[in-house]
């Protein structure tokens, strides 16, 4: 413990040096801007600024890039809450309840809770990262293809809890997402599937055009055509902060979201969107007022926001402890470290303590910087809503077009965005929930790959899923969740007969 504190002291002395502090601040500002803009996500931001970091010393470079990553997570929730446009895929869940809170005039509260929840989750998960990096990393390494498949399947089954309306509608949307995810080059045989001759579809349908189109464009299509201006109650200054009841309600969701997000984040290769989906479903299941979800429940903002911030820290665990990238963003950061001659791996902590501990300390600092940046900006952001909507929506539309085009420089992405926007418009009119489509789209290639790899490992036998303990546990949990969601329906069928019998019994007693 004393050694950890000593190392932390070294780390803070590195992180609070003016040079590194400046780069952390710059990274956070750029990250927030990148996160606020629809389409341009943290990966694009980090990749764009990677050459800039070549000239810096290793610690400053890593701190800059990590600041962008963190800032993008914070910024993505801002547009999700204010305009129902997900800044990046992980903010999709925040759109649902966050925007409803904006409609009720509680935008400031939602933004503040998102900022505070992200701060708490980020800080606590950094502590986890610091203390638990090596043992957690070895746990994460025990995940093979069967465990991945079970985890992703669990993520899909969790959808059964997502909506209070029709479960079959949510599952239908998830299947639509899965089908869309099948488009592209077959990962094992290399054939083009469903590309209809468009070479750009070889990489599959990108998640950014789909998310921006399905959420942002469809929202513009829905509200622009309304004869009266959309009902966004302009909050007064005192209403900008959350009420005491809202603080109390968010306490446990933030805690649970932190733990869940961290656990899902440390598994290499898992999508961050899974952490926010699972957190939303867990909050809904455990809430005493599940009918409030979808209409502006603060738990639906606090939980997913905390989860996706702690998933960010969790993603750094395999990267720092083992040198294994858990996704494209840690991979770019590993590349940045290698350019500076630092080889990440198990020896990193021993050989370059000032880099590792400086990184951890700078994440603490970065979290504080972002909290300070974001809370006062809440008032400014909310003022954006006061711009008259006929002027606001063309601006948002142009930024959506720009953001989607900037990802790949391909107009096919713009076409996908337009098609998904029209589809989202029709789906929302028919009261379908669109978030599961994004989940299915991301999960489909991963599930297929893990499934086929698992079967290759077991030479075609399905028993591999039940022979491995972690996979078995997750499959059993998923099955239990599915049965639990069906249970009320079964109970109602049985209850009908009992109620009928009871009613006649009561009648006799009343007489």
Partner 1 sequence: MVTSSRAPRRSSISWTGWRHAAAILAACVFAVFATERLGYRLTVLLMLGFLLKVVEGRGWLQTLLFAFGLAFGSFFLFYTLLRVPLPEGPLGF
DSSP helix/strand/coil, 315: helix
CB nearer partner 1, residue 13 or residue 485: 485
Q: What is the largest CA-CA distance in the chain?
A: 91
State the minimum distance, in angstroms, from the CB of residue 223 to partner 1: 8
Quote the tokens at residue 269. 């290769």
CB nearer partner 1, residue 338 or residue 486: 486
DSSP string, 345-400: STTHHHH-HHHHHHHHHHHHHHHHHHHHHHHHHHHHHHHHTTS-HHHHHHHHHHHH
Residues 109/101, Cβ–Cβ less than 8 Å: yes
CA–CA separation, 390 vs 395, rounded Å? 9
Quote the tokens at residue 43. 């990966």
State the minimum distance, in angstroms, from the CB of residue 395 to partner 1: 6
CB nearer partner 1, residue 21 or residue 48: 48
Choice from 131, 473, 486, 502 touching partner 1 (CB under 8 A): 486
**Contact track, partner 1, 409-448, x by CB under 8 A:** x-x--xx-xx--xx--x---xxx-----------------
Choice from 152, 221, 264, 332 touching partner 1 (CB under 8 A): 221
CA–CA separation, 266 vs 322, rounded Å? 12
Question: φ, ψ for residue 166 (rounded to 5)?
Answer: -80, 125
CB nearer partner 1, residue 132 or residue 412: 412
CA–CA separation, 145 vs 150, rounded Å? 9
CB nearer partner 1, residue 131 or residue 491: 491
Question: Among 108-116, 139-147, 223-231, 346-354, which window interacts with partner 1 (CB under 8 A)?
Answer: 223-231
Residues in 13-42 that interact with partner 1 by CB under 8 A: 40
State the minimum distance, in angstroms, from the CB of residue 393 to partner 1: 8
CA–CA separation, 320 vs 314, rounded Å? 10
How many CB atoms are closer than 10 A to CB 188? 11
CA–CA separation, 306 vs 114, rounded Å? 7
Quote the tokens at residue 367. 């979290």
CA–CA separation, 459 vs 504, rounded Å? 61
Choice from 237, 391, 494, 511 touching partner 1 (CB under 8 A): 391
CB nearer partner 1, residue 332 or residue 365: 332
CB nearer partner 1, residue 35 or residue 235: 35
**Contact track, partner 1, 134-173, x by CB under 8 A:** -------------------------------xxxxx----
**Contact track, partner 1, 37-76, x by CB under 8 A:** ---x-------x----------------------------
- Interface with partner 1 includes 206 (CB under 8 A)? no
How many CB atoms are closer than 10 A to CB 217? 27
Question: Among 82-90, 101-109, 221-229, 494-502, which window interacts with partner 1 (CB under 8 A)?
Answer: 221-229
Quote the tokens at residue 64. 């800059």
- Interface with partner 1 includes 482 (CB under 8 A)? no
CB nearer partner 1, residue 217 or residue 266: 217
Pure H helices in 294-352? 299-322, 328-339, 348-351
Ramachandran bin of 349, using left for φ above 0, alpha for ψ from -120 to 50, beta for the remaining angles: alpha
Question: Among 90-98, 103-111, 257-265, 405-413, which window interacts with partner 1 (CB under 8 A)?
Answer: 405-413
State the minimum distance, in angstroms, from the CB of residue 48 to partner 1: 7
CA–CA separation, 125 vs 262, rounded Å? 6
CB nearer partner 1, residue 100 or residue 219: 219
- Interface with partner 1 includes 395 (CB under 8 A)? yes
Question: Among 203-211, 388-396, 437-445, 462-470, which window interacts with partner 1 (CB under 8 A)?
Answer: 388-396
Name every residue whose Cβ is closer than 8 Å to that of residue 375 and which is 6 or more positions away in sequence. 112, 115
CA–CA separation, 159 vs 481, rounded Å? 10
The residue behind tokens 């004869």 is 227
Q: Please name which of 124, 131, 70 lies closest in space to residue 256, comparing C-alpha atoms.
A: 124
- Interface with partner 1 includes 247 (CB under 8 A)? no
- Interface with partner 1 includes 119 (CB under 8 A)? no
- Interface with partner 1 includes 397 (CB under 8 A)? yes
**Contact track, partner 1, 347-386, x by CB under 8 A:** ----------------------------------------
Name every residue whose Cβ is closer than 8 Å to that of residue 227 and which is 6 or more positions away in sequence. none
Contacts with partner 1, residue ranges (CB under 8 A):
40, 48, 165-169, 217, 220-222, 224-227, 390-391, 394-395, 397-399, 401-402, 405-406, 409, 411, 414-415, 417-418, 421-422, 425, 429-431, 485-486, 488-489
């Amino acid at each position: 413990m004393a050694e950890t504190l000593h190392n932390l002291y070294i780390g803070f002395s590195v992180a609070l040096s003016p040079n590194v502090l400046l780069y952390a601040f710059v990274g956070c500002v750029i990250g927030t801007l990148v996160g606020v803009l629809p389409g341009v996500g943290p990966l694009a931001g980090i990749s764009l600024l990677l050459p800039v970091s070549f000239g810096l010393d290793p610690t400053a470079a890593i701190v800059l890039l990590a600041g962008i990553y963190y800032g993008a997570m914070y910024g993505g929730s801002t547009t999700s809450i204010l305009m129902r446009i997900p800044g990046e895929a992980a903010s999709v869940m925040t759109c649902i309840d966050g925007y409803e809170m904006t409609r009720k005039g509680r935008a400031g509260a939602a933004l503040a809770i998102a900022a505070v929840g992200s701060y708490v989750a980020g800080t606590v998960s950094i502590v986890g990262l610091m203390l638990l990096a090596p043992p957690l990393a070895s746990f994460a390494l025990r995940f093979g293809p069967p465990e991945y498949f079970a985890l992703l399947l669990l993520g899909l089954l969790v959808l059964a809890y997502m909506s209070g309306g029709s479960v079959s509608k949510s599952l239908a949307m998830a299947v639509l997402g899965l089908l869309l995810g099948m488009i592209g080059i077959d990962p094992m045989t290399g054939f083009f599937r469903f590309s209809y001759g468009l070479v750009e579809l070889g990489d599959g349908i990108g998640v950014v055009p789909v998310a921006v189109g399905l959420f942002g464009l469809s929202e513009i299509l829905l509200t622009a055509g309304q004869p009266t201006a959309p009902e966004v109650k302009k909050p007064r200054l005192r209403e900008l902060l959350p009420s005491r009841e809202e603080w109390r309600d968010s306490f446990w969701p933030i805690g649970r979201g932190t733990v869940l997000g961290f656990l899902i984040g440390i598994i290499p290769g898992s999508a961050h969107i899974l952490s926010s989906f699972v957190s939303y479903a867990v909050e809904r299941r455990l809430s005493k007022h599940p009918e409030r979800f979808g209409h502006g429940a603060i738990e639906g903002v606090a939980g997913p926001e905390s989860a996706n911030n702690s998933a960010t820290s969790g993603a750094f665990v395999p990267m720092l402890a083992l040198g294994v990238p858990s996704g494209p963003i840690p991979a770019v950061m590993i590349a940045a470290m290698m350019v500076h001659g630092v080889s990440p791996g198990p020896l990193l902590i021993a050989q370059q303590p000032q880099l590792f501990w400086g990184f951890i300390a700078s994440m603490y600092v970065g979290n504080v910087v972002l909290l300070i940046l974001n809370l006062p900006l809440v008032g400014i952001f909310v003022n954006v809503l006061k711009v008259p909507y006929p002027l606001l929506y063309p601006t948002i539309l142009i930024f959506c077009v720009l953001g989607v085009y900037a990802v790949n420089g391909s107009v096919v992405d713009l076409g996908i965005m337009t098609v998904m926007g029209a589809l989202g418009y029709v789906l929302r009119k028919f009261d379908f929930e669109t978030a599961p489509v994004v989940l299915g789209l991301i999960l489909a290639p991963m599930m297929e790959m893990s499934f086929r790899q698992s079967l290759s490992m077991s030479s075609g036998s399905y028993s591999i899923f039940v022979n491995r303990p972690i996979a078995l546990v997750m499959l059993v949990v998923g099955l239990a969740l599915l049965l639990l969601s069906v249970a009320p329906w079964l109970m109602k069928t049985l209850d009908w007969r009992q109620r009928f019998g009871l009613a006649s019994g009561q009648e006799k007693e009343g007489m």
